[in-house]
A and B are shown apart, each in its own frame.
Chain A
Amino acid sequence: MVSASNTKNPIQIEIFPKRLLGPERAQKLLLELNQIEGILRAVIQGPRLPLKVPYGPATGENVLHPDRKIVQINDTTFELAILVGRIRMEIRDFEVKERVREVCENLLPFGFEFREGTFIAKRSTVSDYAKRGPDADPNLRGLFDPKASLDEQICFLNRSDNDIENK
């Protein structure tokens, strides 16, 4: 099949479900995607679930949203502070793309949009340089809000011990 993704360079895809995913289905989907070899980086995005009421007369009240849950992907646990609305990934090649599509078809019965494009920044900007300095990890570029702390927003999955030591 001739496609723009028939290239040796990594390609980027976006999964856009027709419904916002609850934490259980999101965890299931992320677990299945995690089994696929060849996903280099991924971003999950969606509306935020705050811990406290951010504004209005009830400012500061606890929200206790039932969908704000701890999820576990292999050995990594993190708090899912959003309802998952889209997943963007950088993947190795066209074969991986088709495997990702298969997983989505199995786990998203209400339908989804699936597209290829540029969703994660590929090049550093002057602002990136100013915010993160000359030694910033290029793999983290475009994955997180520069104003937030890294620990809250980035999870490393399937990293070898060597990778961690080298960091």
Chain B
Amino acid sequence: MAYEPQFYPGNTIIAENRRKHMSGNLEKLREISDEDLTLVLGHRAPGSDYPSTHPPLAEMGEPECSIRELVEPTEGAKAGDRVRYVQFADSMYNAPATPYFRAYYAAIKFRGVDPGTLSGRQVVEARERDMEKLAKESLETEISCPALSGLRGATVHGHSLRLQEDGVMFDMLDRRRLENGTIIMDKDQVGRPLDKKVDLGKPMSEEEAAKRTTIYRVDNVAFRDDDEAVEWVHRVWETRTEYGFQPKVYND
């Protein structure tokens, strides 16, 4: 029987959401066009070619190498794209993702990505077209809520602040805001103004956010209510402390 990864222990909705994020088996909730995505990322003009740092691999005449033969290059690497980044900040008030789960999602589902995980933000560097693929999926699926998650290349302040009156995560640079029931973005991820307003979709209601979040909170689902997750965290700590993560010693 083929092995199926289990990803994360737990019986609660939070554990279930963590498994979804880690497996990349996510529900698509909204649509972002390629042009809009390019605009908000701000790395190149929409419709322009991908700038490259080296010729396509096929034209380069690579040296004979068993690893190169074994590993299929990503589309971006094949074309010689530049390495570019996308960065998200997620509110601690029941945002769907947290930096750690964005990192798991990127590292498990995508190849050739370099996730950088910090307390309140998560950056992924990759070849430009590979990065865009990840960014598009992140914005369109349940891993993001336009109000509680923010595409923020610089000035990420907001993840640990209380929400604004309208339920949107604070953004000092006013890149995005609630207008007529949807979140619009009229600046790119670092705060440069755009010529058009990009519709990021409807924000999740408080109830929906509480159901889709990967954050254990005492005012939603507390970590201690998830017996299976607690048991496994205890077990990992115990085996690490007593056996230094050596399964052989533990099993003996």
List chain A positions with a Cβ less than 8 A from chain B: 17-22, 25, 47-50, 53-58, 61, 63-67, 83, 85, 110
Q: What is the CB-to-nearest-CB distance from B103 to chain A, in angstroms, rounded to a whole number?
A: 22
Residues of A within 8 A of B153 (CB): 56-57
Q: What is the CB-to-nearest-CB distance from B34 to chain A, in angstroms, rounded to a whole number?
A: 22
The reply to whether B191 and A63 contact each other, CB–CB distance below 8 Å, is: yes
The reply to whether A64 and B170 contact each other, CB–CB distance below 8 Å, is: no
Q: What is the CB-to-nearest-CB distance from A88 to chain B, in angstroms, rounded to a whole number?
A: 16
Of the listed stretches B44-52, B59-67, B134-142, B155-163, name the one at the interface; the rest are far from the partner chain.
B155-163
List chain B positions with a Cβ less than 8 A from chain A: 153-155, 157-158, 161-167, 170, 172-174, 177, 187-188, 190-193
Q: What is the CB-to-nearest-CB distance from B91 to chain A, in angstroms, rounded to a whole number?
A: 12
Residues of B within 8 A of A85 (CB): 161-162
Taken together as a complex, chains A and B put the C-alpha atoms of A25 and B165 apart, in Å, by 9
**9 pairs of A and B residues whose beta carbons are closest in the complex:** A56-B154, A58-B191, A65-B174, A53-B191, A58-B192, A58-B190, A57-B190, A56-B190, A19-B165
The reply to whether B154 and A57 contact each other, CB–CB distance below 8 Å, is: yes
If A19-B162, A20-B163, A20-B165 touch, whether A48 touches B191 (CB-CB below 8 Å) is no
Taken together as a complex, chains A and B put the C-alpha atoms of A19 and B193 apart, in Å, by 27
Taken together as a complex, chains A and B put the C-alpha atoms of A61 and B165 apart, in Å, by 26
For A50, give the chain B residue with the smallest CB separation: B172
Residues of A within 8 A of B167 (CB): 19
The reply to whether B164 and A20 contact each other, CB–CB distance below 8 Å, is: yes
Taken together as a complex, chains A and B put the C-alpha atoms of A164 and B177 apart, in Å, by 42
If A20-B165, A56-B154, A56-B155 touch, whether A66 touches B170 (CB-CB below 8 Å) is no
The reply to whether B163 and A19 contact each other, CB–CB distance below 8 Å, is: yes
Q: What is the CB-to-nearest-CB distance from A69 to chain B, in angstroms, rounded to a whole number?
A: 13
For A85, give the chain B residue with the smallest CB separation: B162
User: A18, A56, A61: which has the most chain B beta carbons within 10 Å?
Assistant: A56
Q: What is the CB-to-nearest-CB distance from B80 to chain A, in angstroms, rounded to a whole number?
A: 23
Q: What is the CB-to-nearest-CB distance from B240 to chain A, in angstroms, rounded to a whole number?
A: 38
Residues of B within 8 A of A83 (CB): 164, 170
Residues of A within 8 A of B166 (CB): 22
Q: What is the CB-to-nearest-CB distance from A20 to chain B, in angstroms, rounded to a whole number?
A: 5
Residues of B within 8 A of A61 (CB): 191-193
